[in-house]
């Protein structure tokens, strides 16, 4: 307790109802105010300035040092290493007492028009003064004029109190703290690659961004990187194509081009809807643009963008239009052969028409011809005078064998009353079951359909005359000539008709 003319009393108030004195410091001059910090007394002694006294032992207090610049020390306030002294003669003195035995004046505020300063409070290096005439004043010790007190610069923001722009971002330290909320010791507060000033103005990047948010549009691309890439730091999808800038930068598409491959599909639709490659106009390299495949375009069909052969017929989708086939139907003519098999000499060794189920119009589908081993481009594979289809469907003969029953008569001669005048069974070598093959009967001049018309009685082979053998040979030659004429005539009729 400061007693103006009676020094300092130390009072024990452990029992507030019965305070007792247990220490006294007399000293000299008048005692106007006292502040207690740890074991020290900071005393305002009016005419004699400021005194720091060690009160570790209240019964025996000792003076450490004094400071007097000729004013009248009315009151004081201590903040950390600084003593703020209200000078009744018109100002504020700031004294450093980091060494209690060596008090040093660090600054002053002269208020001649305010006359007596009778009260002081300080916080964060800012002093609040009560003046006789001028009223209430707020004063800061600001060496560099950046509106941050030296105390704040040294103890809070770690900035320079001799440089008003510590981080060199052309924003003074005070406005960074009080107006923008940025770090005055860091040119790029949010570490996004753009200086605080660049973010606060529409600078080289053309945008005003948030200096406290490294990614204003939350697209995982920092504002600085957006400047480098030329994207919009306020739009997660700069080109509005359905893909974020981050995705486009990672996958090589153009974040400023909605259709990177110019296939008339937006990059976003290619990735999100169709599964196609936004960097390839023809994802599956089948000769059809992706747009053509996902739309019923010029071909009228929707095909797969990631499968070059949608119907798995051996012809890529783009080539099917050249053949007139469907890229969605592996067997366009439903003949049992894939379109790819028909347009190449594949397993069957023949090129057939993929749009005609019976390329040679012989009544036997191309697929059946493959199964039967016949020629799908030849109406009569075995040249027996019967079309393959007739043999297969109507006569049950072998279209690959001109004499199905091996009786010496070709199949067409048997099913028609040809040069021999008889219709025999082409699948039975002995139509009348008389024990003699039909060919032998015709050669012998007997009726192969009449079991009661056996060939003429002959002697034993040792008695057979040469005449009889000559007769048989002659009949055979005549039969073959007649067959050749018949076949030629049939073909003439078919091709001219």
* Residue found under tokens 């300092």: 8
* pLDDT score recorded for residue 21: 77
Pairwise pLDDT comparison (8 vs 497), residue with the higher score = 8
* pLDDT score recorded for residue 60: 87
| pLDDT, mean over the chain | 87
Contact 201, 209 (CB under 8 A): no
Contact 153, 177 (CB under 8 A): no
Q: What is the pLDDT of residues 242-276, one digit of tens each?
A: 999 999 999 999 999 999 999 999 999 999 999 99
Task: Tell me what the mean pLDDT of segment 482-491 comes to.
Answer: 58
Which segment of 244-253, 300-309, 311-320, 485-494 scores lowest on mean pLDDT?
485-494
Contact 72, 110 (CB under 8 A): no
* Residue found under tokens 């009569």: 380
Confidence of residue 455 (pLDDT cuts 50, 70, 90): low
Contact 276, 305 (CB under 8 A): yes
* pLDDT score recorded for residue 459: 43
Task: Tell me what the mean pLDDT of segment 93-99 comes to.
Answer: 92
CA angle 395, 398, 404 (to 5 degrees): 90
Q: Which helix (H) or strand (E) holds 340?
A: helix 339-343
Q: What is the pLDDT of residues 136-183, one digit of tens each?
A: 888 877 889 898 888 889 888 999 999 999 999 999 999 999 999 999
Confidence of residue 17 (pLDDT cuts 50, 70, 90): confident
C-alpha–C-alpha distance, residues 227 and 373, integer Å: 71
Pick from 253, 214, 218, 210: which is nearest to 235 by CA?
218
Pick from 201, 181, 205: which is nearest to 193 by CA?
205
Q: Could you tell me the pTM of the whole model? A: 0.63
What CATH number has the domain spanning 2-141? 2.130.10.10
Statement: residue 386 has pLDDT above 90:
yes
Confidence of residue 61 (pLDDT cuts 50, 70, 90): confident
Statement: residue 14 has pLDDT above 90:
no
Q: Kindly report, as residue ranges, where domains of CATH 2.130.10.10 are found in the chain.
A: 2-141
Token pair recorded at residue 124? 């964060």
Q: What is the pLDDT of residues 343-375, one digit of tens each?
A: 999 898 999 999 999 999 999 999 999 999 999
Tell me how far CA of residue 243 lies from CA of 236, 261, 270, 472, in angstroms.
Answer: 9, 14, 10, 92
C-alpha–C-alpha distance, residues 94 and 127, integer Å: 10
Statement: residue 13 has pLDDT above 90:
no
Statement: residue 497 has pLDDT above 90:
no
Task: Tell me what the mean pLDDT of segment 297-302 comes to.
Answer: 88
* pLDDT score recorded for residue 124: 82
Contact 266, 258 (CB under 8 A): yes
Task: Tell me what the mean pLDDT of segment 485-493 comes to.
Answer: 56
Contact 220, 201 (CB under 8 A): no
50-54 and 40-44 strand pairing: antiparallel
Distance, CA of 125 to chain centre:
53
| Beta-bridge partner residues of 33 | 44
* pLDDT score recorded for residue 146: 92
Please report, for the chain, how many H helices and E strands are present, in that order.
Answer: 14, 14
Confidence of residue 467 (pLDDT cuts 50, 70, 90): very low
Burial of 20 (0-12, 13-18, 19+ CB in 10 A): exposed
Burial of 396 (0-12, 13-18, 19+ CB in 10 A): exposed
Contact 152, 132 (CB under 8 A): no
Half-sphere exposure of 315 (CA within 13 A, CB side): 26
Helices (H), 44-179: 150-155, 173-175
Statement: residue 493 has pLDDT above 60:
no
Q: What is the pLDDT of residues 224-236, one digit of tens each?
A: 999 999 999 999 9
Length of the chain: 497
């Amino acid at each position: 307790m400061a007693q103006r003319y009676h020094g300092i009393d130390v009072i024990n108030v452990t029992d507030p109802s019965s305070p007792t004195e247990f220490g006294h410091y007399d000293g000299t001059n008048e005692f106007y105010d006292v502040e207690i910090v740890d074991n020290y007394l900071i005393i305002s002694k009016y005419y004699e300035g400021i005194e720091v006294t060690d009160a570790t032992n209240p019964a025996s207090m000792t003076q450490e040092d004094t400071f007097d610049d000729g004013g009248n020390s009315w009151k004081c306030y201590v903040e950390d290493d600084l003593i703020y002294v209200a000078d009744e003669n018109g100002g504020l003195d700031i004294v450093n007492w980091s060494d209690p035995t060596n008090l040093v004046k660090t600054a002053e505020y002269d208020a001649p028009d305010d006359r007596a300063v009778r009260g002081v409070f300080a916080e964060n290096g800012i002093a609040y003064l009560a003046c006789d005439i001028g009223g209430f004043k707020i004063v800061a010790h600001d060496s560099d004029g950046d509106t941050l007190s030296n105390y704040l610069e040294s103890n809070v923001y770690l900035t320079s109190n001799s440089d008003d722009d510590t981080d060199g971002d052309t924003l003074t330290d005070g406005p960074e703290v009080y107006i923008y909320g940025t770090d005055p010791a860091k040119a790029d507060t949010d570490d996004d690659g753009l200086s605080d000033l660049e973010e606060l103005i529409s600078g080289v990047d053309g945008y005003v961004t948030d200096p406290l948010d490294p990614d204003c549009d939350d697209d995982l691309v920092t504002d600085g990187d957006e400047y480098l890439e030329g994207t919009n730091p306020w739009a997660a999808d700069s080109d509005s194509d359905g893909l974020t800038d981050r995705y486009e930068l990672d996958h090589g598409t153009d974040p400023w081009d909605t259709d990177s491959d110019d296939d008339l599909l937006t990059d976003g639709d290619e990735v999100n809807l169709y599964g196609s490659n936004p960097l390839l106009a023809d994802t599956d390299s089948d000769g059809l643009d992706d747009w053509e495949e996902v739309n019923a375009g010029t071909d009228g069909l929707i095909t797969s963008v990631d499968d070059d052969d949608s119907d798995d017929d051996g012809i890529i989708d783009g080539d099917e239009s050249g053949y007139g086939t469907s890229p969605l139907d592996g067997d366009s003519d439903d003949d049992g052969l894939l379109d790819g098999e028909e347009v190449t000499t594949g397993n069957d060794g023949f090129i057939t028409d993929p749009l005609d189920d019976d390329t040679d119009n012989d009544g036997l589908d191309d697929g059946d011809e493959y199964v039967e081993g016949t020629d799908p481009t030849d109406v009569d594979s075995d040249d027996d005078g019967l079309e393959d289809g007739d043999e297969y469907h109507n006569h049950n003969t072998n279209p690959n064998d001109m004499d199905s029953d091996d009786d010496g008569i070709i199949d067409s001669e048997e099913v028609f009353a040809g040069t021999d005048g008889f219709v025999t069974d082409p699948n039975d070598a002995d139509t009348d079951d008389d024990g003699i093959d039909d060919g032998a009967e015709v050669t012998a001049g007997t009726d192969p359909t009449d079991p009661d018309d056996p060939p003429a009685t002959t002697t034993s082979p040792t008695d057979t005359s040469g005449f009889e053998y000559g007769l048989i040979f002659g009949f055979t030659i005549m039969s073959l000539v007649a067959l050749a004429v018949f076949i030629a005539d049939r073909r003439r009729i078919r091709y001219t008709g």
